[in-house]
Amino acid sequence: MNGETAAQLEAEANAAIATAPLDTVEAPEVTGALVPMEESHVEEWKVFMGHTVGVVAVVALPQWELTGDEKRELSESLAGCLDQLFPGGLDGKYACWFRLVAAAGGITVVRLAQNGGKLPGFGPRRKSDTDTEAPTPAPAAG
Q: Would you list the DSSP string of 122-134?
A: SSSPPP-TT---P
Segment 5-27, tens digit of pLDDT: 888 888 888 888 888 777 777 77
pLDDT at residue 78 tops 70:
yes
Provide the strand spans (E) within 6-90. none
The Cα–Cα gap between 55 and 49 comes to 10
pLDDT at residue 130 tops 80:
no
Q: For a pLDDT cut of 90, what percent of the chain falls above it?
A: 26
Segment 20-53, tens digit of pLDDT: 777 777 777 767 666 666 678 999 999 989 999 9
The Cα–Cα gap between 137 and 140 comes to 9
Pick the more confident residue, 82 or 141.
82
